[in-house]
Chains A and B, each alone.
Chain A
Amino acid sequence: MRAQTLNRATPYMFMAPAAIIMAIALLYPLGYMIYGSFRDWNPSQSIGESEFVGLKNYITLFFDPAFRESLSVTLTFAFAVVVAEMVIGVGLALLLDRNIRGMSVLRTLFILPMMIAPVVVGLMWRYMYHPTVGTFNTTLKSWGFDGIDWLGQNALLSVIIADVWQWTPFIFILALAALQSLPRSALEAARIDGATAWQQIIHIKLPLMMPVLIVTGLLRLIDAFKVLEVILVMTEGGPGLSTEIVALRISRTATEFRELGVAAAMSNYLLMLLLLLTVAMFAITRLQEARAQRAARQIQED
């Protein structure tokens, strides 16, 4: 009897170290954040001294126009950059999926932006966008056009361009890897059947790459929701609140407004939103897989 219990417990005991570390490293801070979000807590207090306020932080935020605006800025930013990056990244991968001389050098060059520290990226773009001495406006002016007020009137667009510049390579290398691991047989069969390059891309390459692309897109989306440094350095959220994404607002709420409880509640809203997106994304993939399986079964039955 004892031996049996022990036997049954063995696998759990093997898992225990990992589970404990996981609980400490992941659940503890998360729990702390959730606990903190129900309190009126300023950074000069320890969490124990703070006052319990129930759902007040969440309710205040829900009706706070500034938070709503920053949420909508975040959504616009995240979807715009992910769509742009996916289109450009996958496009580049399709174009460069061939044997060209010096391809490996090109590939390294393409992924350089990703390796630069975000603060540096922010500073670099901020100076390139500078209204009088920046690269863009001096070039435009030398061509006889008017300068553009990049970080003033077009701040969100400018920030999106910078992010696209930095993160397209991420999509590019993953898409390229996916392309190169596609089954050659399927492509050959298509070629023999006389499919044009476009038809190959639309009917074979893209559908086969889809699982990888979905995960890649999801990773980028999650990251785009949390981007902070580049925007902080470029615009500090301005003008007005036009580029104040949620991550920036959280950081300002904690440090400038000194409302740790509200900042924690905001983080939880963001977490819930991301969870929702992730679950939805996986549900879609599941659905697609199921449909594909059903189709495959039907073909077999026929």
Chain B
Amino acid sequence: MLKVLRQASLGVVSALALTTAALANPYEEYAGETLIVNFPAHPHFDAVMKILPEFTKETGIEVEVDQLPYLKMRERQTLELAQDEGEYDLIAYVVFSKADYVYADQLENLARYFMNPKLADPAYDADDLIDGYVYNIGFAGGNKGYLEGKTGSLFGIPYGSETSVLGYRKDIFDKHGLKVPETYEELLEIACKIPELEPGMGGLSSRAASGHHASHAFLLHLAPLGGRIFDDQWNPIVNNEAGVQAANALKTIVECGPEGAASFGFGEALGSFLNGDTAMFLDTTVVAGQINDPAKSQVVGKVGWAMHPMGVRRGSQTGGFGIGIPKNAENKEAAFLLMQWLTSKHGDKLVAMQGGNPSRFSTHADPDVNEKFPHMATFGEALKHADPDWRPIIPVWGKINADLGTTLSKVLTEDLDVQEALDGVAERTKAVMDEAGYYTWQ
């Protein structure tokens, strides 16, 4: 009898709980809708795929994912966003697409959604999102048009954001009593010492192939060494002393790097570190998962992580992806709910536990996450120094980037003089900027 009573009361309590939950369920109105989202094929978004069923379970909103290689994704989005009615409700975009999409008025301003009390979760805690990324990936219309500032507003939320850290071989460093480099001087010195100490091993593997790769590698060094592509008046200053220093740093790294380093793309550079052909790797945080995966890596357990070395300042890269709602989306409100859920403390921790890149300070400090991924604390520290202005995010950047990358490749392979090369880049950049109207007010 007592047992029956207990069971009955349990039933009543759970039924009550269900009704209250249903009453307070902000997702109810949208349950049963199907969102179509466009994500890249990328380790972070592979982790996202694993947590999406959880979202559907909690909210009743179905999610269909169109996962594409990230360069292909950009082409697809460009076509899709220009339609009157788009297919996608939510898109992940690369940082440099922000300028194009916002300028073409194709992304929703998120203010309307965060103002809507039925949609915005009061516990969201936006201040916990990593500042540099929010400005870098989500903001438009602020300082210089692409940074934070009083005139800016939010068009997307960083998701799958990356910064640069230094990975080094603990075993090699211990064996030769080397100190983990903290400054650029030390970095370059050790990079060239390694091949002497460990014959056949390269110092630091870097991307250097013509085009985007070489340019990316150069920019990684430019910010910490105190350089920029433009001054505040949009005049190219890439050929100043800091620029020359950064290009020379890249040259030294490639010369002391593994054999054939001058034609390495990201894949080869990472591959040579995973194979144990180099002692250091200075690039994005997204590789941590692969380095710890015995199927892909021969250096599992041998890699330590440190901050991106300092030049005259700290300045690690800001990259990766953001998520935004296209202007021509069909289910914008449900898309916002998904976006908010993914980037909430809850969602951010879930994706981090699956091996994704968290976007919140709190997730980087979370004990569970740190227990599973001990490097997370270093990554979190590095994020504080992530420089949102390490490369300009303007519509003509693609062209300037390509020129910079091919010219640097000539420096690396054809012995073009560094100063002469950068002077050429600056001159051509000036012409591109002039044509795009950046000097209208001068």
- By a beta-carbon cutoff of 8 Å, the part of chain A in contact with chain B is 42-46, 66, 130-132, 147, 149, 151-153, 155, 235-242, 244, 252, 255-259
Does chain A have a CB within 8 A of B78? yes
* B263 A238 Cβ-Cβ under 8 A: yes
CB pairs A–B below 8 angstroms (11 shown): A45-B104, A147-B259, A238-B211, A238-B263, A238-B409, A238-B413, A239-B263, A240-B210, A244-B406, A255-B74, A256-B212
* B263 A240 Cβ-Cβ under 8 A: no
**Cβ-neighbour of A132 out of B78, B260, B402 (below 8 A):** B260
- Roughly how many angstroms separate A130 CA and B263 CA in the complex, as a whole number? 9
Closest to A252 in B: B402
- Known contacts being A44-B100, A132-B260, A258-B100, is A235 close to B210, with CB within 8 Å? yes
* A43 B82 Cβ-Cβ under 8 A: yes
* A240 B406 Cβ-Cβ under 8 A: yes
**Cβ-neighbour of B75 out of A153, A238, A255 (below 8 A):** A255
Interface size class of B (residues with CB under 8 A): 35 or more
Q: At the interface, is chain A mostly helix, strand, loop or mixed?
A: loop
* A238 B406 Cβ-Cβ under 8 A: yes
- By a beta-carbon cutoff of 8 Å, the part of chain B in contact with chain A is 71, 74-75, 78-79, 81-82, 100-101, 103-104, 106, 209-212, 214, 258-260, 262-263, 265, 277, 395, 398-399, 401-403, 406-407, 409-410, 412-414
Q: Which residues of B contact A46 (CB under 8 A)?
A: 82
**Cβ-neighbour of B210 out of A45, A131, A238 (below 8 A):** A238
* A237 B403 Cβ-Cβ under 8 A: no
Q: What is the CB-to-nearest-CB distance from A43 to chain B, in angstroms, rounded to a whole number? A: 5
Q: Which residues of A contact B101 (CB under 8 A)?
A: 44
- Known contacts being A44-B78, A45-B104, A149-B260, is A241 close to B398, with CB within 8 Å? no
- Roughly how many angstroms separate A257 CA and B399 CA in the complex, as a whole number? 5
- Known contacts being A239-B263, A239-B413, is A132 close to B406, with CB within 8 Å? no
CB < 8 Å A-B pair total: 96
Q: At the interface, is chain B mostly helix, strand, loop or mixed?
A: helix
- Roughly how many angstroms separate A104 CA and B100 CA in the complex, as a whole number? 56
* B399 A240 Cβ-Cβ under 8 A: no
- Known contacts being A237-B210, A238-B210, is A152 close to B262, with CB within 8 Å? yes
* B263 A259 Cβ-Cβ under 8 A: no
* B79 A43 Cβ-Cβ under 8 A: yes
- Roughly how many angstroms separate A252 CA and B399 CA in the complex, as a whole number? 9
* B398 A258 Cβ-Cβ under 8 A: yes
- Roughly how many angstroms separate A256 CA and B400 CA in the complex, as a whole number? 10
Closest to A153 in B: B413
Closest to A243 in B: B210
Interface pairs A-B: 7 shortest CB-CB = A238-B210, A131-B260, A44-B104, A239-B413, A240-B410, A257-B399, A239-B409
- Known contacts being A44-B78, A252-B402, A258-B398, is A240 close to B104, with CB within 8 Å? no
- Roughly how many angstroms separate A132 CA and B258 CA in the complex, as a whole number? 9
Q: Which residues of B contact A151 (CB under 8 A)?
A: 260, 263
* A239 B262 Cβ-Cβ under 8 A: yes
* B410 A239 Cβ-Cβ under 8 A: yes
Among A149, A238, A241, max chain B CB count under 10 A is at A238
Closest to A151 in B: B263
* A239 B82 Cβ-Cβ under 8 A: no
- Roughly how many angstroms separate A256 CA and B395 CA in the complex, as a whole number? 10
Among A130, A149, A240, A255, max chain B CB count under 10 A is at A240
